[in-house]
Amino acid sequence: MKKDRYRVLLILLFFTILAVIFSGCFGSEEDKITRMRLVMDTHVTVTMYGISESEGNAIAKEAFAEMERLEGIFSRHIEGSDIEHINRAAGREWVEVGPEVILVIEEALAISRLTEGVFDPTVGPLLEVWGFGNEEDEQQRPSSEEIEEALLQVDYEKVEINEEESSVFLAKEGMQLDLGGIAKGFIVDRGQKVIEESGVEGSFVNAGGDINITGSKTDGEPWKIAVQDPRDPQKWFATLQIDQGSVATSGDYQRFFEEDGERYHHIIDPESGWPADGGIISVTVLGPDTLAADAYSTAVFVLGIERGLELLETLSDMEGVLIDKEGDIHYTSGLDEKLEIL
């Protein structure tokens, strides 16, 4: 029953985080092929333009197969995955992994260093004590002692990589990699790459709000993305114009529980061990790829309004829209002519 409720939440999230407006995108609706499948416990939609139905079916099947293959490598909850092997061997031995895992861990560690640990791929133990480690876990507020104990296992600087031997080592027993804040974006990017290499003139992949857009409209107009109110799915806060690239959103409404009148969400501050409380309820980040947009949306959420905007302004290829608890919108300077507040 709990799993069913979680999937219902994900379906709602699919429609609530971002609404992509595709009217008149490439041509007539007859040119559009849309297919959906459950991947990463999220309803993933693949939409392609300018292609026949038979070709579209074959390409979508290949793209979904690639995303499912990568999920089997990156999910720490799937027995036999590379990440599950790494976590099981923490503090004891090196684990040989595939090149995709090395790539994503290196990217995660680079972002960790840039954000001084605000984004930390070793946050797994904290997710476990809060009940966000697995959809079957019981979610409840842990004791201060449990949080302090879990914090001892969180340290991105103790993740070691041997590129020559394609292997990874967690230097302390009890550590757990959790790449949920970055691998989902990478998987979306790889699904889009399959489609792009098939010669499709325009397409987008949407995994519950992590979106990769490739190609351009036949009318030359930019894509439009509507940012919806995190507290009211019937309302839109703003629309964004984007030529192509990626979008990812992090919010306190994606996974949460309430206890004694308080809301506790799944975006944990690696320093305090508690759900991040920087005054933000939603962050939407635009970037060149979904991997980066995914990770930075999490980092900005933890940093809060002021520090989050400062971070995004230092990144030449990233932009962001932040919604605070009062419902006010904050955004980076590069969106001055691309953002319309409704």
Which of 245, 338, 328 has its CA nearest to residue 291? Answer: 245
Pair 190, 72: CB distance under 8 Å: no
Q: Encode the chain (342 residues) as per-residue pLDDT tens digits.
A: 333 433 333 333 433 344 444 434 444 455 789 999 999 989 999 999 888 999 999 999 999 999 999 999 999 999 999 999 999 999 999 999 999 999 999 999 999 999 999 999 999 999 999 988 766 667 889 999 999 999 999 999 999 999 999 999 999 999 999 999 999 999 999 999 999 999 998 898 999 889 999 886 555 567 777 776 666 666 777 788 887 789 999 988 777 788 788 888 899 999 999 999 989 989 999 999 999 999 999 999 999 999 999 999 999 999 999 999 988 889 999 988 888 877
Tokens of 334: 């590069």
Residue 256 within any structural domain of the chain: no
Residue 329 within any structural domain of the chain: no
CATH number, domain at 117?
1.10.3980.10
CA distances from 289 to 67, 228, 321 (A): 16, 22, 17
Residue 154 within any structural domain of the chain: yes
Instruction: Provide the number of structural domains found in the chain.
Output: 1
Quote the domain boundaries for residue 104.
74-170
Q: What is the 3-state secondary structure (H, E, C) of 84-125?
A: HHHHHCCCCCCEECCHHHHHHHHHHHHHHHHCCCCCCCCCHH
Residue 123 within any structural domain of the chain: yes
Q: Which residues contact 23 (CB under 8 A, 6 or more apart)?
A: none
Question: Rounded to an integer, what distance in angstroms lies between the CA atom of residue 280 and that of residue 321?
Answer: 11
Residue 267 within any structural domain of the chain: no
Which of 121, 94, 131, 130 has its CA nearest to residue 177? Answer: 121
Residue 266 within any structural domain of the chain: no
Residue 252: what are its φ and ψ, rounded to 5°?
Answer: -80, 0
Enclosing H/E stretch for 69: helix 53-74
Residue 103 within any structural domain of the chain: yes
Residue 69 within any structural domain of the chain: no
